[in-house]
Amino acid sequence: MSKVQEISHYDSFLFARTAYFSRQKKMSDSGKLTELSALGEFGLIDQLTKNIPIHNKSTVKGIGDDAAVIKPAAGKQMLVSKDLLIEGVHFDLMYMPLKHLGYKAAVVNFSDIAAMNGIPKQIVVGIGVSSKYTVEALEEVYAGIKKACEVYKVDFVGGDTTSSVAGLFISVTVIGEAKKENITYRSGAQVNDLLCVTGDLGAAYMGLLILEREKKVFQANPNMQPDLSDHDYILERQLKPEARIDMVRLFADENIVPTAMIDISDGLASEALHLCKNSDKGCLIYEEKIPIDQDTYDTAKEFGIVPTVAALNGGEDYELLFTVKQADYDKIKNSQDITVIGYITDKTEGTQLMTTDNHLFELKAQGWDALKKRDLEIPGSDKKSSD
């Protein structure tokens, strides 16, 4: 079991099978809720940010002044990234528990730092919240953010709190570090480099489809219990993704510096296209090599989707897509967490997929919105999803 999997099975934070749809309701039924206005902005900030530990030497001053103070480690460069999550666009509170939302908001930022071959060190969190939220609801979100910081040893050093007209906005900025010579850009891939992925792909998207399906059932009849049984893995991949910081550590341990890297947030096809475009190269990916978990495979079939298409166009796996020199093959070949799926070619050869039945076709970035429509097929192959 990888470190990431161990982390994701943390006791009380473990995926609780049927809790999702009833959770918000239970909170409002308990009657012990505090309106945001009862605390005021400063009281709320105090409440949300008490007892936040500091893990990193580079954090000189965390929450509590006008700005945090960070002292970059000698010989390291700083990496900065931000993601903005908007209710109804990036998450749906029908099935996204608030604590998981906080965890995911932090982790997707850690993943961007991993994609640069760096280690996340600090985050700053901006939150916009409407009056329908309570102090307890925000505490849940913060519990998730704090949990992610504890697991990944990242310091939560500041933020901003404001009201919104409707819905919840969470914006996380992450600061990471890496040695200059280890920073991995999207642009460094060379012809004949091996194209590799970590973990397996398509699971988060299949988890989303299960949740969307059960949401419809629930909306039609709120007394129905959602049927989420036997899908722990793909649901957890959707609701509680992990960032592959363990891979960054493995690269350091094995003395590997990938030639190019990107994290897979929008599906393998889209990220492979980004990597090739930025490197001014092409690639050839073998369909049969794409790692797909059995649960992903079975669920895709159930939904009438070609499993490979879920991996190519599904989103939110937060695995890493990277290239290494062929000379580094021996260093990665024994890792259970890394799969070589193809190689880098000259730009003139395009970005191609070789299907299991030996057809070549050009990769397209459909993204997971397109996948939702399920009007997909693999050109040149006889496989087609049923609508």
Least distance in Å: CB of 28 to ligand ADP?
23
> Which residue in this structure is represented by tokens 């087609």?
384
For helices 203-220 and 20-29, angle between their N-to-C axes, nearest 10 degrees? 50
Strands 155-163 and 119-129: parallel
Cβ-proximal residue to Mg ion, closest one:
160
> Judged by CB under 6 A, which stretch of 63-71, 100-108, 188-196, 357-365 contacts ligand ADP?
63-71
Other CB atoms within 10 Å distance of the CB of residue 362:
13
Q: Does 154 bind ligand ADP (CB under 6 A)?
A: no
| Residue owning tokens 């996204």 | 96
List the 282-286 sheet strands across, edge first. Answer: 260-264, 319-324, 194-198, 338-345, 282-286, 351-354, 360-362
Nearer to ligand ADP, 65 or 253 (CB): 65
Stretch that binds ligand ADP, among 17-25, 43-51, 186-194, 320-328 (CB under 6 A): 43-51
How far, CA to CA in Å, does 362 sit from each of 204, 306, 319? Answer: 24, 17, 22
Contact between 161 and ligand ADP by CB under 6 A: the answer reads yes
Q: Is 148 in the site for ligand ADP (CB under 6 A)?
A: no
Region from 14-22, 45-53, 106-114, 327-335 binding ligand ADP, contact rule CB under 6 A: 45-53
Q: What is the smallest separation between the CB atom of 175 and Mg ion, expressed in angstroms? A: 18
Q: Please choose which of Mg ion, ligand ADP, none residue 45 contacts, taking the beta carbon within 5 to 8 angstroms, the exact cut-off set by kind.
A: ligand ADP
Count of residues interacting with ligand ADP (CB under 6 A): 13
Nearer to ligand ADP, 128 or 188 (CB): 128
Instruction: List the one residue from 45, 292, 340, 370 that touches ligand ADP (CB under 6 A).
Output: 45
Distance of CA 343 to the CA centre of its chain: 24
DSSP state of 24: H
Encoded one letter per residue, x for contact with ligand ADP by CB under 6 A and - for no contact, window 18-37 reads --------------------
Closer Cβ to ligand ADP, 150 or 232, answer by number? 150
382 binds ligand ADP (CB under 6 A): no
Residue 51, interface with ligand ADP (CB under 6 A)?
no
Question: Which residues does 104 contact at the CB level (< 8 Å), separation at least 6?
Answer: 91, 96, 144, 239, 240, 241
Bridge partner list, 83? 172
Q: Are strands 59-61 and 119-129 parallel, antiparallel or unpaired?
A: unpaired
Does position 278 interact with ligand ADP (CB under 6 A)? The reply is: no
Residues near Mg ion (CB under 5 A) are 160
Q: Is 175 helix (H, G, I), strand (E, B) or coil?
A: strand
Radius of gyration of the chain (CA): 21
Cβ–Cβ under 8 Å, residues 330 and 123: no
Interface residues with ligand ADP (CB under 6 A)? Answer: 45, 48-49, 63-66, 125, 127, 158-161
